[in-house]
């Protein structure tokens, strides 16, 4: 009877270890899958933000058509820098430069009659800026979630594999974002 009790104890202990191992494996697999999904979501949000920013050149074309040669040259350099960068901080700096170059052109377009190409470009740029801000918030929220998840165990074991930590996309608000529209009565 004693040998049977010892065998039962060994089997129960082995079974418990197997169950604990399975639970641990499922926990790790679930954490890794969640990290992979969140990383893919952040990548998609970044691609959408970058595409929105890069559409600015086409939208600003009517404003650039009326600009001086120096302004056009500055704009081309700013747009080239925006297109050439792929990292969030560098793209944010390039976006700030584009905003600084376009600001005087957008302000000048405010005096154009409604329905003119310049006035429509100004309206389209404002809508594009709103879209870019929404996409920036989406990307930064996803990057924040991914970075937080990458600091927690067990995700921290393979966080670098998913590019964690991710940089935030932060435009220098003081110097880059155009002033709000003025309402005149």
Q: Give the domain ranges of the chain.
A: 37-185
CATH class of 37-185: mainly alpha
Q: What is the pLDDT of residue 140?
A: 93
Confidence of residue 173 (pLDDT cuts 50, 70, 90): low
The answer to whether 27 and 103 have CB atoms below 8 angstroms apart is: no
Lowest model confidence (mean pLDDT) among 9-13, 131-135, 176-180: 176-180
More confident residue, 110 or 90: 90
pLDDT of residue 44 exceeding 90: yes
pLDDT of residue 177 exceeding 60: no
Kindly report the three-state secondary structure assignment for every residue of 41-74: HHHHHHHHHHHHHHCHHHHHHHHHHCCCHHHHHH
Question: Is the CA virtual torsion 169, 89, 33, 153 positive or negative?
Answer: negative
The answer to whether 142 and 42 have CB atoms below 8 angstroms apart is: yes
Confidence of residue 1 (pLDDT cuts 50, 70, 90): low
Q: 160: helix, coil or strand?
A: helix
Write the pLDDT tens digit of every residue in 113-148.
Answer: 677 777 788 888 888 889 989 999 999 999 999 888
Q: Write down the H helix ranges in 85-116.
A: 88-109
Lowest model confidence (mean pLDDT) among 102-111, 129-138, 172-181: 172-181
Cβ atoms within 10 Å, residue 42: 24
Residue 145's nearest CA partner among 24, 35, 16, 48 is 35
The answer to whether 36 and 160 have CB atoms below 8 angstroms apart is: no
Confidence of residue 169 (pLDDT cuts 50, 70, 90): confident
Q: What percent of the chain has pLDDT over 90?
A: 20
Sequence-distant (6+) residues with CB within 8 A of 117 are 62, 65
Q: How many CA atoms lie within 13 A of 115 on its CB side?
A: 0
Determine which helix (DSSP H) or strand (DSSP E) holds 13, and give its type and residue range: helix 2-54
Q: What is the pLDDT of residue 2?
A: 61
pLDDT of residue 175 exceeding 60: no
């Amino acid at each position: 009877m004693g040998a049977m009790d010892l065998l039962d104890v060994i089997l129960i202990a082995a079974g418990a270890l197997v169950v604990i191992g399975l639970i641990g494996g499922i926990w790790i697999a679930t954490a890794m899958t969640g990290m992979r999904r969140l990383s893919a979501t952040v990548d998609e949000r970044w691609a959408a933000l970058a595409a929105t920013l890069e559409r600015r050149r086409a939208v600003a074309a009517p404003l650039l058509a009326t600009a001086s040669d120096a302004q056009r040259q500055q704009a081309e350099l700013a747009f080239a820098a925006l297109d050439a960068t792929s990292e969030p901080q560098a793209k944010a700096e390039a976006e700030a430069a584009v905003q600084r170059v376009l600001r005087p052109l957008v302000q000048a377009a405010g005096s154009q009659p409604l329905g003119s190409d310049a006035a429509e470009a100004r309206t389209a740029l404002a809508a594009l800026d709103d879209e870019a801000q929404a996409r920036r918030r989406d990307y930064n929220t996803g990057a924040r979630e991914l970075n937080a998840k990458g600091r927690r165990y067990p995700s921290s074991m393979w966080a670098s594999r998913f590019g964690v930590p991710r940089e935030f996309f932060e435009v220098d608000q003081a110097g880059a974002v155009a002033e709000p529209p003025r309402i005149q009565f």
